[in-house]
């Protein structure tokens, strides 16, 4: 609300006469009334708790300020509850941030209320003869009605600044390599055999957990250095700032990754920086299409999309890049001009980037970026002679002197174990033979 609008509102007689009804902010809890808000669950529903989303340092400051204001007004209170929903900040039109609680998992367990709306024509009839029309909007409407006492625990929400997650992986160098023998025992096909390697892993892990690591607290305003390495045992990296270790990260190789050459493993060890993810998370909340997808998560219209614990929207595990020119420029440059990419072609660059990123029109933009690269235009010029004009081939003088052939594959398997058709056509008479074959047959068997 602008200053001019506030001045006009204050001049209204009703506002001046009932100042307590029109406060600038909701002062605190509403009075106890007969009507209270209740949350009715479907039979058999149990508590759900979702991990808090990651937030940037500036967002944490804003979140802390808003929560302290709500605590002061007693609209929220610290609690211990089996329920828990994450919170996020959404930009308002005036540039501020609105604190929102993601209750979607709770909503899935509630009994849906069906309210009959009045008919529009009936409402219009009631306006007959009226000459003055007004409308009212409750300030912070959700704070204007009390929640039923027994349903208050269901409204619990979790924030990332109130506590640190109990992840010890980041404090132990080479964590995945140390626990590899123990990880093998958790697989379904693996028999439980306690070997010397398992004993060493168990004792070493206890020693590392009981020894204070030498880490420093990061300064969010300074740059970070990420050092990556890879071997056929796992991937690892160290996050450093001013040559001091901030955190470690590592994981074991997946089954298909064990066949990768060392170069591909080194590429897999590259970690996306926290600053980049923070920028992606902020821009996603400003992208209209991605915000719509956030509201459709869990429905048929958003199949493949998911929101993970870091607060980043992903499509089939890939980061959804918002329609932001600067973020796209960074991704395209890293995928084409970095020391590890070395100016790949359009197809190779697209295949590399789509393992990590997704955005609408991605393949077209990758092709346009590669086509506009000056280095590629200079170094990848065509040295062969251009193709000439199409020429008519010679017409055969007798039938079956010249033939053409092709294969139709991908067919369902027949009773005679045939799954393809061999097509042979005479170029003169256009007479054709269609022979059922198996795609795995050798050349000797076909002849």
Q: What is the mean pLDDT of residues 212-227?
A: 67
CA 285 to mean position of chain CA atoms: 12
Q: What is the pLDDT of residues 80-103, one digit of tens each?
A: 788 888 888 888 887 788 888 899
**Residue 247 near residue 171, CB atoms below 8 Å:** yes
For the chain, the structural domain boundaries read 3-114+137-162, 169-268, 274-379, 403-446
Least confident of 3-7, 58-62, 201-205: 3-7
For a pLDDT cut of 90, what percent of the chain falls above it?
9
pLDDT at 405 over 90: yes
Q: According to the model, what pLDDT value does residue 212 have?
A: 55
State how far the Cα of 414 lies from the Cα of 404, in Å rounded to an integer: 25
Homologous superfamily of 3-114+137-162: HIV Type 1 Reverse Transcriptase, subunit A, domain 1 (3.10.10.10)
CA 255 to mean position of chain CA atoms: 24
Q: According to the model, what pLDDT value does residue 339 have?
A: 62
Q: What is the mean pLDDT of residues 250-279?
A: 60
Q: Whole-number mean pLDDT of the chain? A: 78
What is the pLDDT confidence band of residue 129, given thresholds at 50, 70 and 90? confident
Residue 6: what are its φ and ψ, rounded to 5°? -60, -40
Q: According to the model, what pLDDT value does residue 61 have?
A: 76
Give me 361's structure tokens: 């029109």
For a pLDDT cut of 70, what percent of the chain falls above it?
77
pTM: 0.37
Give me 278's structure tokens: 């923070």
pLDDT at 24 over 80: no
**Residue 160 near residue 53, CB atoms below 8 Å:** yes
Q: DSSP letter at 147? A: B
Q: What is the pLDDT of residues 302-335, one digit of tens each?
A: 888 888 777 888 888 888 888 888 888 888 888 8
Q: Which CATH architecture has domain 274-379?
A: Orthogonal Bundle (1.10)
Quickly tell me which residue has 């100016």 as its tokens.
Answer: 343
Q: DSSP letter at 354? A: T
**β-strands 403-408, 420-426 pairing:** antiparallel
What is the pLDDT confidence band of residue 267, given thresholds at 50, 70 and 90? low
Q: What is the mean pLDDT of residues 212-221?
A: 64
Q: According to the model, what pLDDT value does residue 278 have?
A: 77
């Amino acid at each position: 609300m602008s200053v001019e609008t506030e001045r006009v509102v204050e001049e209204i007689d009703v506002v001046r006469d009932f100042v307590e009804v029109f406060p600038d902010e909701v002062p605190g809890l509403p009075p106890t009334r007969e009507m209270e808000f209740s949350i009715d669950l479907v039979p058999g529903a149990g508590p759900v708790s979702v991990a808090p989303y990651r937030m940037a340092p500036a967002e944490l400051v804003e979140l802390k300020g808003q929560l302290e204001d709500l605590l002061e007004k007693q609209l929220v209170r610290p609690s211990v509850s089996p329920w828990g929903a994450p919170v996020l900040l959404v930009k308002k039109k005036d540039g501020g941030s609105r604190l929102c609680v993601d209750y979607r998992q709770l909503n899935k367990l509630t009994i849906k209320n069906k309210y009959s709306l009045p008919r529009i024509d009936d409402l219009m009839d009631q306006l007959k003869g009226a000459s003055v029309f007004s409308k009212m909007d409750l300030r912070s409407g959700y704070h204007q009605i009390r929640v039923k006492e027994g349903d208050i625990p269901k409204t619990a929400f979790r924030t990332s600044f109130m506590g640190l997650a109990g992840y010890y992986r980041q404090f132990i160098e080479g964590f995945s390599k140390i626990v590899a023998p123990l990880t093998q025992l958790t697989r379904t096909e693996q028999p439980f055999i306690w070997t010397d390697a398992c004993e060493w892993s168990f004792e070493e892990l206890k020693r590392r957990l009981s020894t204070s690591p030498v880490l420093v607290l990061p300064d969010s305003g300074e740059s970070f250095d990420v050092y990556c390495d890879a071997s056929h045992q796992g991937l690892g990296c160290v996050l450093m700032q001013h040559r001091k270790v901030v955190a470690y990260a590592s994981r074991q190789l997946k089954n298909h990754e064990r066949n990768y050459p060392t170069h591909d493993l080194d590429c897999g060890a590259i970690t996306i920086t926290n600053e980049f993810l923070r920028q992606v998370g902020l821009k996603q909340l400003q992208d209209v299409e991605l915000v719509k997808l956030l509201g459709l998560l869990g429905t048929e219209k958003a199949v493949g999309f998911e929101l993970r614990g870091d607060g980043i929207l992903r499509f089939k595990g890939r980061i959804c890049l918002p329609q932001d020119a600067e973020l796209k420029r960074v991704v395209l440059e890293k995928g084409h001009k970095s020391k590890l990419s070395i100016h790949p072609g359009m197809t190779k660059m697209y295949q590399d980037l789509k393992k990590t990123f997704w955005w609408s029109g991605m393949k077209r933009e990758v092709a346009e970026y590669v086509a506009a690269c000056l280095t590629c235009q200079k170094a990848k010029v065509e040295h062969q002679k251009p193709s000439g004009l199409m020429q008519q081939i010679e017409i055969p003088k007798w039938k079956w002197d010249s033939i053409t052939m092709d294969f139709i594959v991908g067919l369902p398997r027949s009773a005679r174990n045939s799954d393809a058709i061999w097509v042979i056509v005479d170029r003169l008479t256009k007479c054709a033979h269609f022979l059922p074959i198996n795609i795995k047959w050798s050349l000797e068997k076909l002849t």
